[in-house]
Amino acid sequence: MVARILLPGKLTSNAVGVRGESYSNGLKYSEAIARAGGVSMTVAPLPQHLESVALLVESSDGVLIQGGGDIDPDRYGETRRSDMIYGIVEAHDAFELAVVKEAVRQDKPLLAICRGIQLLNVALGGTLHQDLGDVLSDRESHWDTYHPISLAADSRVARAMGSTSPQRSHSFHHQAINELAPDLLVVGSAPDGVIEAVEHCTRRWVVGVQWHPEDDAADNPDQQRLFDAFVAHCGP
């Protein structure tokens, strides 16, 4: 059986080969899922689909939340206090938060990447640093760069990747987890203390990573193994 991975889409513009407005996902996510033996199913973040979130998640074998723009601070009980916030799309926040909450409720395997780990934390009651420049001396230290990741040896992430220090971990974010949601456990961090990986304390396979494993998965085995383990847990 091929694992069916629900991948919420993003509203896009200027797509080639379609008429009018469009929606899409990052191709590298679907390629990594395909290499692992699964297939991604992209669903548009439409208000009408909010009514069917439970059925969408139930009919899927797992859920992947991809990267993207920032989450509206109102979603975690704060007002906007940073000029660095960008890319807020209400439709993305509403649909992805609903999907994450439902995936956790149904105990579906979930892999949440970059914006995804932040969304997972917010969905379960945590908060975010609105901009890492507010708490780090180097505002650019996590923006389009590679840096070491340290993983707890007994974590799902380390076991999946076969490493406590995965190679070629591409960091491309300016926000990160601040207050950790009660049901999450930190299992990975950067040298500066920024949270890089979390896992749900009671669900069978709910994992969030702050870096972009899909960017190097085609050429780097430990990054691909994260997708392999995720898809494997989506099986019967």
Q: Which CATH number does the domain housing residue 47 bear? A: 3.40.50.880
How much of the chain, in percent, has pLDDT values that exceed 70? 100
Q: Choose between 198 and 236: higher pLDDT.
A: 198
Cβ atoms 207, 199 nearer than 8 A: yes
Cβ atoms 72, 89 nearer than 8 A: no
CA gyration radius for the chain?
17
Task: Give the pLDDT score at 66.
Answer: 97
> How confident is residue 159, by pLDDT bands cut at 50, 70 and 90?
very high
**pTM above the 0.85 mark?**
yes
Q: Is it the case that residue 184 has pLDDT exceeding 90? A: yes
Q: Is it the case that residue 236 has pLDDT exceeding 80? A: no
Q: What are the residue numbers of the active site?
A: 114, 212, 214
Q: Is it the case that residue 26 has pLDDT exceeding 90? A: yes
Average pLDDT of the residues in 8-31: 90
- Which residues have a Cβ under 8 Å from the Cβ of 65 and sit 6 or more positions away? 8, 96, 99, 100, 110, 111, 112, 113, 115, 116, 119, 120
Q: What's the total number of domains in the chain? A: 1
**By residue range, what is the domain housing residue 225?**
3-233
Cβ atoms 85, 70 nearer than 8 A: yes
Task: Give the pLDDT score at 139.
Answer: 82
